[in-house]
Structure formats: structure tokens, C-alpha cells
Amino acid sequence: MQGAGLTRLESFPPGGQALVVGASGGIGAALLAELEACGRFARVTGWSRRAGQIDLEDEQSIARAVATLDGGPPLRLAICATSLLHDAGQQPEKSWRAMDAATLLRAYAVNAVGPALLAKHLLPLLPAEGKSAFAALSARVGSIGDNRLGGWHAYRASKAALNMLLRNLAIELGRRKPEALCVGLHPGTVDTPLSAPFQANVAEGRLFTPAFAAERLLAVLEGLRPEDSGQVFAWDGQRVEP
């Protein structure tokens, strides 16, 4: 399975600009490498909080970063590859007894509010004609209809909120720029620090390398059409249930 080829993104007009936010993470770095290799874009840019280029918890930081795109090639593709499941300060909740306000609010800030504010500043830069897209990494666990296990309250709820925000943004974007897309992408379980503590129960063949995940997500974007805007799609091209 893990041998997908380079996606050329030929459905996007040539000569534009591609942007990856969260480019220091496993998936973000792989997406950046794939976009640089595909040769479709005149400029490929990567931003990360680690490198001090952008902080999605600070809208002024977002605005300053986006301002640097002025005067460059038209923005054809922007991918928000950031996500918070756990870190030194918090872990996914296994029960409602573990919920607290600080954990919930931080998950919403990073997983929903940050990408939404990024979209607020980037969507106006998408061209009025020709295919373009804003995409954000979502997760199947953010699907309300697909939730059979419960738990992971902050992560599930913040990704569900992201999915709703992407849907809202897509409706407004479609009125202004009918050929532009705004979508969520579920990469599957990828071998990164985000998933590392939870890989023991992953089925054989379902733990993906970042390079494979990046190839698959770009292939999904390549095949999307305007009527797909506002939806969430998994790495295999299947639509994730709301």
C-alpha cells in the first residue's frame, strides 16, 4: 500500500503558489517536500510555529505572515497541517472525569479556531478563476455519526468544530469564488509523534509513513471538484461522515 507515486496536481493551474502551515511537523514536512517535487507551483512556502513564522493562537501573527504573500504568484493551494492531540501538558481523556476547561479550550484554540482564522486571512487570496483550495487536517474521530467509542473529548469535539467551520467557510467561499474549494482531510494514522503513544492497536498496513500520507492527501485534492467543497475526505478519497 505504501508506494503511492508523486502527484502532479495537474488540475490546478500552473505557476501559482502553494503554502503549508505546520511545515515542521511530520505530515507538514512531507507535504512541503511533495509540493516542491511536483513542479506545478512557481513558489512553495512552508511556515511553522517552531521556526517563528506563524502562531495560530495569535491572529496578529497570522495576519503578518499572510501579508508576506502579497506580490507573489496567486495562491492556488494552502494546507493547514497543524493538530493537537497531546503534549507534555495534556493527554486524551478516557472518561468524562478527566475533562477540564483548560484542556478543552486549548484543543479548540489549536484545532478549530486557529485554522479558521488562518482561512479568514487566506481565502481572500485565492484566485477568482481556476481551481484553488484551502485544506485543513481533520480526523475521522471528529465525525459525530461515526463515533462509536467515545472518549478523547477535547480532540473529537475540536475536530468536529473544525469540520463545521470548514463547511461554513465553503458556503461563503462558493458564493464568491465558485471554482475554489475549502475542505478537511483525514490522513489516517501516520507514524508521527502525535500518534506515537497510540500505535499499538493499529491494524497491520494501516500505520502510514508521512510521505505516503502526503502523497495520498495530494491525490485526494487533485481529484476534488467544486461540488466537493465543505466536506471532509479521508486519505483513500472516501468522504468522512459528518
1 pLDDT more than 70: no
The per-residue pLDDT for 87 is: 85
Share of the chain above pLDDT 70, in %: 94
The per-residue pLDDT for 206 is: 74
* CA neighbor of 157 nearest in space, from 124, 200, 110: 110
195 pLDDT more than 70: no
Share of the chain above pLDDT 90, in %: 87
Query: What is the secondary structure of the chain as a DSSP string?
Result: ---PPPP--TTSPTT-EEEEESTTSHHHHHHHHHHHHH---SEEEEE-TTTTS--TT-HHHHHHHHHTTTTSS-EEEEEE----S-BTTB---SSGGG--HHHHHHHHIIIIIHHHHHHHHHGGGS-SSS-EEEEEE--GGG-STT--S---HHHHHHHHHHHHHHHHHHHHHHHH-TTEEEEEEE--EESSTTTGGG-TTPPTT-EE-HHHHHHHHHHHHHH--GGGTT-EEETTSPBPP-
pTM score, whole prediction:
0.94
Q: Of the ranges 29-38, 77-86, 150-159, 201-210, which one carries the lowest mean pLDDT score? A: 201-210
135 pLDDT more than 60: yes
Q: What is the mean pLDDT of residues 199-220?
A: 86
The per-residue pLDDT for 199 is: 65
- Mean of all residue pLDDT scores within the chain: 94
The per-residue pLDDT for 3 is: 52
Q: Where residue 40 falls among pLDDT bands split at 50, 70, 90?
A: very high
Q: What is the mean pLDDT of residues 23-39?
A: 97
CA separation for the pair 232, 222 (Å, rounded): 14
204 vs 30, residue with greater confidence? 30
The per-residue pLDDT for 26 is: 96
165 pLDDT more than 50: yes
